[in-house]
Amino acid sequence: MMRGSEKDVIPFLFVLSSLFAYTCFKGLQIAPAHPYIMFAGTSVFFALMISSMFISRNKPDAFEAKWFMVLTWVGSLFMGWWGTFIMISIPIDIVHFVFSMFKDGEFFIGPRGYTIILALSALVTFLGFVEVLRGPKVVEVDLPIKDLPPELENLKIAQISDLHIGPTIQSRYVNKVVKKTNATHADLVVITGDLADAHTEPIKKHLRPLGELQSRFGTFYVTGNHEYYWGVESLLPELKKLGFELLINSNRILNIGSAKLLVAGISDPVGRSFSEEHRPDLIKARETQEKTDFNILLAHRPDPYVNAEKYGFHLQFSGHTHAGQFFPFSLLIPIAHRYYKGLNRHGKLWLYVNPGTGYWGPAHRFGIASEITLLKLSKV
């Protein structure tokens, strides 16, 4: 009988081999006269694209090596190029297949056409990389709240989400995020998960700038799914040292004048595989004996919005979706999530979904800029 970890490997290998086979097929469409060259080229391309991921997981001591940094950046850019090309190609190939069922002969896109698509994908990837280099932009959002206590009027909340500190997002980028966040003069900072994307030891110095985040009431943090993939047990103590308020199915009540603001957080659902303590528990996170005037929920994924409204939360901050991160993936994200970007209203609950302050995988944000959100409460 196979163990759980072995069962997880089989679907991963199936998906990986399927993507490899489809990429070989695309290579043959571009250069049908050179099948062996295209197979060899595809193999090298795939190796460069994914090898750094396996190395960073199994050899964390290689993290600071120059060769590893070069390999990681090459892999990240190749992945963005490949992902853009594949996502544009799939619908074209589907149309091609359907067309060929009803009419004999070649489809209107031949080797030259696919070469042009490959070149356009490279241009889109380059522009997406330029957007990454610009860093996150600050997006200001005014939120009108009925019957808002006067003491909470103009309260400013800065949100950071999906920063993914790791092989390509390091101190330079993190310093830029901290500087821009501090410039908002927020009353509190919330971080809604996927903060780290590597083992804790190699990224300690890249986490350190986050300790410089400044706000009136502090920095509040909830876990995302990626923290559990890399060892949350070593990450959380480091975040405590930086002064973060860790909200693992818990809350803090802030006294602002005579008003009481509740800030609660739930762990990501992946946490249930880590420990029972990290199984998301909205009831426990909401639990308090005090009467509060305004209730905020931090949840990495937008999904808890239904129960968040039910348990009396007024505002939820989430991330996770990246809003698709780049075109054309951004066209598919509405299929997976009802609320996937920006400010949304669900019944009495306001939900803000940050599209990501960093990026995951490809250094590519064409059409979907990275963001630091500054949300200000105002009275209707």
pLDDT of 74 > 70? The answer is yes
* pLDDT for the residue numbered 111: 80
Is a pLDDT exceeding 60 seen at residue 156? yes
Distance between CA atoms of 135 and 173, rounded to whole angstroms?
7
Q: By the 8 A CB rule, do 227 and 194 touch?
A: yes
- Rounded CA-CA distance 285/250 in Å is 4
Q: Is the pLDDT of residue 3 over 50?
A: no
User: For residue 80, what pLDDT is reported?
Assistant: 95
Q: How confident is the model at residue 199 (pLDDT cuts 50, 70, 90)?
A: very high
Tens digit of each residue's pLDDT (9 = 90 or more) over 108-141: 677 888 889 999 999 999 999 999 999 999 999 9
Among candidate residues 322, 332, 319, 323, the one with its CA nearest the CA of residue 86: 332
60: confidence class by pLDDT, cuts 50, 70, 90: confident
pTM of the model: 0.91
pLDDT at 14 over 60: yes
> Residue 83's Cα: distance from chain center in Å?
16
For 24, 152, 245, 253, 370, the CA distances from 378, given in Å and listed in that order, are: 55, 8, 25, 20, 25
Residue 28 has pLDDT above 60, yes or no: yes
**Tens digits of per-residue pLDDT, 75-99?**
999 999 999 999 999 888 888 777 7
Centre a 10 Å sphere on the Cβ of residue 201 and count the other Cβ atoms it contains. Answer: 12
Q: How confident is the model at residue 356 (pLDDT cuts 50, 70, 90)?
A: very high
Q: pLDDT (tens digit, 9 = 90+) per residue, 207-264?
A: 999 999 999 999 999 999 999 999 999 999 999 999 999 999 999 999 999 999 999 9
Q: What CATH number labels 137-379?
A: 3.60.21.10
What pLDDT is recorded for position 144? 94
198-201-207 Cα angle (round to 5): 70
Average pLDDT, the chain: 91
Domain limits, the chain: 4-133, 137-379
Among 36-45, 225-234, 323-332, 336-345, the least confident range = 36-45
CA 230 to chain centre: 15
